[in-house]
Amino acid sequence: MATTNDLKNGTVLNLDGQLWAVVEFQHVKPGKGGAFVRTKLKNVLSGKVVDKTFNAGTKVETANVDKRDMQYLYKDGNDFVFMDSGTYDQLHVGEAVVGDAASYMLENQTAIVATHDGTPLYVELPPSVVLEITYTEPGLQGDRSTGGTKPATLETGAEIQVPLFLEAGTKVKVDTRDGSYLGRVND
């Protein structure tokens, strides 16, 4: 248990049996009446975001969320298999939990896996990853960095927009939050 005064971004609360992560919070002390805490909460499983207001000092139940660095090993049917680097324990994480992260994960890549009582909640990748373009239409003479973009397929199977001059076999840096192209990587 904690009070609303202890809230921080990233704290996970257990409200009515559902897990909610604090995205934003603001302590408000109006001139008249009691102080309160205005929060923006995100449902850990569904991703739904809601606004909720608590009276200052109200007790809230926090959930114990264990975040660990794990290595992605392989895909097994609809599950992604991760291994704890310290204990070598393997954890099967369902496709729905991995979500969009699957588009940017390669085997042997490290990711943060958050669990609550042994149940995987979500997979967090680094802000950017380096992936190789496996297919894109060839660029034409005169295509330069200023100008348009074209679709390119990455080695994970994800499709992103890249500048016209890039070719298959080029390694690029990709933002894992929105799939945007961040730049070319030279070996």
- pLDDT for residue 13: 87
* 42 to 4, 6, 130, 161: CA distances (angstroms): 16, 18, 29, 29
Asked if residue 173 has pLDDT above 80, the reply is: yes
Per-residue model confidence as pLDDT tens digits over 80-90: 999 988 888 88
Cβ contact 182:128 at 8 Å = yes
Q: Spell out the residues 6+ positions from residue 101 whose beta carbon is closer than 8 angstroms to its own.
A: 111, 123, 124, 125, 176
Domains delineated in the chain: 2-60 (2.30.30.30), 66-124 (2.40.50.140), 128-185 (2.40.50.140)
Per-residue model confidence as pLDDT tens digits over 15-71: 888 888 888 889 888 888 888 989 998 888 777 889 999 888 888 888 888 888 899
Q: Sign of dihedral through CA atoms 148, 153, 156, 157?
A: positive
Q: What is the mean pLDDT of the chain?
A: 85
Count of Cβ atoms closer than 10 Å to residue 162 Cβ: 22
Lowest mean pLDDT among 20-24, 35-39, 118-122, 140-144: 140-144
Q: How far, rounded to the nearest angstrom, does the alpha carbon of residue 186 sit from its chain's CA centroid? A: 26
Asked if residue 6 has pLDDT above 60, the reply is: yes
Q: pLDDT exceeding 70 applies to what percent of the chain?
A: 95
Q: What is the pTM of this model?
A: 0.69
Radius of gyration of the chain (CA): 21
CA distance 77 to 94: 9
Q: Which residue, 119, 181, 187, is CA-closest to 153?
A: 181
Question: Residue 73's pLDDT band (boundaries 50, 70, 90)?
Answer: very high
CA distance 84 to 186: 31
Helix (H) or strand (E) holding 98, with range, is helix 95-98
Q: How far, rounded to the nearest angstrom, does the alpha carbon of residue 6 sit from its chain's CA centroid? A: 24
